[in-house]
A and B are shown apart, each in its own frame.
Chain A
Amino acid sequence: MSNQTTERGGKIRDAPASGTMVEPDLANRQAGRASGAALAEPETLSEDKDTLLDIFRQMLLIRRFEEKCAESYALGKIGGFCHLYIGQEAVGVGAISAIRPDDYVLTSYREHGQAIAKGMSPDSVMAELYGKASGCSGGKGGSMHLFSSELNFLGGHAIVGGQIPLATGVAFASKYRQTDQVTLCFFGEAAVNQGAFHESLNMAQLWKLPCIYICENNQYGMGTSLERAMSVQSVAQKACAYEIASELVDGMDVLAMRHATERAAGRARKESLPTLIEARTYRYMGHSMSDPGNYRTRAEIEKYQERDPIKLFTSVLKENDVIDDGQIANFEKEIKEQVEHAVRFAEESPEPDPGELYTDVYSMPINN
């Protein structure tokens, strides 16, 4: 398999960051010191074919789902804010593929992809974006607040960094009850400047909580680049302030994400320890659908698209004879139908009953 697609934390060569690169050894040292895990070993495809194809399929589904969201948004079918995951699929899919169904996921407002990766149906997600009763949050949450109690997908949170203390609390509950569930907490790099990030990491290591913090460093907090917002631009490096194990991962490499998360999940389950993973990635679209993206050049976007996560994974699968063009075409066809079905389901679903305006404010209705 090709090297450049699967390099581990510490050995990213075609590093996507346009700004200062993290000193990779530091990230490794952190992980090594805290966990004793040996990192940066040569990569081989250890997954079986079905797993690999499932990962591929999910990434492609999320890409096509998000493209359809952009279309529906332009048509005025989806309201409010809509933050797309295109370009970052490897992070969510790779990480979530490494955990169990009963593990928890909490994330930010850019969460359609992670919701689908956690097993939520495109129908229920699209219906939510359309503000329909059949949506996963009954039409009350919208794009930024997807939830599934059944699948332990605990939202969709729309204040930058707000989900980080919440995820820390979910991990606290797992430890309290002595289950071996782990919690994945996704957030963008801009959230790292919030106090919530630092307060959470401090408590997580202090109390040894099984939480895996995954920073999706897409290099822009809305229109402000990393260099303009962060004095120390390595997120992974910040873990040393709390003696938390950390890894810098090529977030365009889905297997790298999967394997880093497997290591972190092992640490969380066996030793009840947190990990900070910094995934270097890139979003192709604006911050939200209303962002024209004037703060960066087309050439910059195209540079990252050369290392598109789906393209990279396709070449890995082809080199290893896991997939061929015919199978890809079949996947594309199936996924197109699946996404069209989701749109039809959303279109045809009823709006929430007006009576729903006043339900779910309290667990039992109150009068005043």
Chain B
Amino acid sequence: MAVMTMRDALNQALSEELARDENVFLMGEEVAEYQGAYKVTRGLLEKYGPKRVIDTPITELGFAGLGVGAAMAGLRPIVEFMTFNFSILATDQIINSAAKMLYMSAGQFKIPIVFRGPGGSAYQVSSQHSQALESWYAYFPGLKVVMPSTPADAKGLLKSAIRDDDPVIFIEQERMYGMKGEVPEDVDFTIPLGLGEVKREGSDATIIARSLMVPIALQAADELDKQGVSCEVIDPRTIRPLDIETIVKSVEKTNRVVIAEESHPFCSVAAEISAQITERAFDYLDAPVKRVSGADVPMPYAKNLEKLAIPGVEQLVAAVREVSYL
């Protein structure tokens, strides 16, 4: 184990997989000479050369589609979006080509590609640069969607994503790149896609959180512990496939659920998880499932307004108390 930032854990995963398989290459805006807009790809150009670490023009639809085509012909592209905000330009290729090619061709063309980059809220960059898009991508059968919340998860999940034969949307949280944690150094350390993790055990209520909301949920659980409420915190880690079993098992134990997310609430991943809990564990619920989502507004710039738009510890504490009728 070594202690490192999420940024460096991701870098290690990329480097190890580039070393492991000649067919893996990395492309995106500023990934090579500039060393990555967020320095996730630092040093990779030097190690693997310009054939495999490629700076692209600002042409998201074009290079996303180029990646899918390269995958059709047997390569394993890692396509970085400088931020997932820019993936919106590439959605035709992600959705209509990457997600559907295997199906439309009756299994003839696999698309082993990873689209990765930072997503979710950032610091004071306003509406177009600060948003959570996971529910868009999770909506489409054919795509897998991964959102790590610790450096170790980031490394293990990214390595699995690169080795996966299907298109994977890998959303890193821009605010979490500097977060530190212990990371296994074994080059064969991977975490299977579709396997959630109980980040904290508890007995009175379950908080389901992903990405940036996991550390916030853990803080809320500490606070609630002081108030005599024992919280279990579950991180599904992969949105699709979703580890609903781990979630249902926890609901059966605690009978109370809060789902935290920074995305907008309407048609969100929390809405989906809530529906699945209702379908599978209705009889175990002692209170309606409570969602704590980001504000249903475009992200504002002003610091105070931005803070109000993202769920915090206090809101989670209040939500757990609400479902506990406290």
Contact = CB atoms under 8 A, between A and B. Distances in A.
Interface in A134-175: 137-141, 145, 147-149, 154-159, 162, 164-174
B107 interface: yes
Given A200-B62, A364-B165, A169 B73 contact: yes
Interface of A: 104, 106, 137-141, 145, 147-149, 154-159, 162, 164-174, 176-177, 195-196, 199-200, 202-203, 206, 356, 359-364, 366-368
Contacts of A104: 73
Given A165-B69, A168-B62, A172-B66, 17 more contacts: A140-B103, A140-B105, A141-B106, A147-B108, A154-B109, A155-B109, A165-B63, A166-B68, A166-B93, A166-B97, A168-B66, A170-B73, A202-B59, A203-B56, A363-B102, A366-B194, A368-B244
Given A162-B97, A195-B61, A202-B57, A169 B71 contact: yes
B57 A159 contact: no
A149 B141 CA distance: 22
13 contacts: A159-B92, A162-B96, A169-B65, A170-B69, A170-B70, A172-B69, A173-B69, A196-B62, A200-B66, A360-B103, A366-B240, A368-B241, A368-B244
A357 to B, nearest CB: 10
B271 interface: no
A173 B74 contact: yes
A117 B68 CA distance: 25
Question: Among A159, A168, A360, which residue has the most Cβ atoms of chain B within 10 A?
Answer: A360
A203 B66 contact: yes
Nearest to B63: A203
Contacts of B77: 169
Nearest to B102: A360
B323 interface: no
Contacts of A361: 102-103, 141-142
Interface string B245-285: 00000000000000000000000000000001000000000
A169 B71 CA distance: 8
Given A167-B69, A176-B75, A203-B56, A149 B109 contact: yes
A142 to B, nearest CB: 9
A199 B61 contact: yes
B99 to A, nearest CB: 9
Contacts of A368: 194, 240-244, 276
Nearest to B64: A165
B25 interface: yes
